[in-house]
Amino acid sequence: MLARHRLLVVTVLVVALAPACSGGKRLTRADFQERANKECGSLQKASDEFAKAQAPGASGTDVAKYLHAGAEELRKLVDRLDRLAPPSEMEDGVDDLLELLSDYADGLDKLSDRSGSQQTFQDVLHESSGTVKRLNNLAERASTTVAELGLIGCILPG
């Protein structure tokens, strides 16, 4: 009997805490877009790290370091966006975007891990064409999803 009460208490706690884990009360579409667009300002940091990896003098450990740093910035963004509670009509799209960004970060880490001690960014791209193709596909899908969600702050100038 005591075990049944503990199970009930645990179940009630999980149900009661579930909304708090996703940021609490669901935001309106406009509020979610405003907050998400502010968070997406950090994409510039990821883009800057990616640009450093491509710099003419970067090779080997520098390329790896900058690619890992870009991936880490993307993961931080995913964590911050995941804490927001989008309205239910946006939830699937937001989940898709978070998965795409996470997968992109994983791909940057793969490129980083493949960089040799004397390789430039271009060398890494040339030797990792499959990963590059996958990253390009993820970026295209993420751009479409961002546009559908109205997250203009998540679009980097080209």
The confidence score (pLDDT) of residue 3 equals: 39
Cα 50 to Cα 65: distance, rounded to the nearest angstrom: 10
Q: With beta carbons less than 8 A apart as the criterion, state whether 114 and 66 touch.
A: no
> DSSP letter at 156?
P
**Amino acid identity, position 6:** R
Cα 39 to Cα 82: distance, rounded to the nearest angstrom: 11
pLDDT band (50, 70, 90) for residue 158: low
pLDDT band (50, 70, 90) for residue 10: very low
pTM: 0.80
Q: Which two tokens stand for residue 116?
A: 């040799």
Mean pLDDT, the chain, integer: 83
Q: Is 80 exceeded by the pLDDT of residue 20?
A: no
Domain residue limits, the chain: 28-154
Residues 6+ apart with CB under 8 A from 84: 23, 27, 32, 35, 36, 39, 94
The confidence score (pLDDT) of residue 157 equals: 60
Q: Is 70 exceeded by the pLDDT of residue 34?
A: yes
**58: nearest Cα among 118, 132, 125:** 118
pLDDT band (50, 70, 90) for residue 42: confident
Q: Alpha helix (H) ranges present in the chain?
A: 2-21, 29-39, 43-54, 61-83, 88-114, 121-127, 129-149
Mean pLDDT, range 99-120, rounded to an integer:
92
User: To the nearest whole percent, how much of the chain has pLDDT over 90?
Assistant: 57
Q: Is 50 exceeded by the pLDDT of residue 16?
A: no
Q: With beta carbons less than 8 A apart as the criterion, state whether 70 and 35 touch.
A: no
The confidence score (pLDDT) of residue 154 equals: 85
Q: Worst-scoring range by mean pLDDT, 2-6, 40-44, 118-122?
A: 2-6
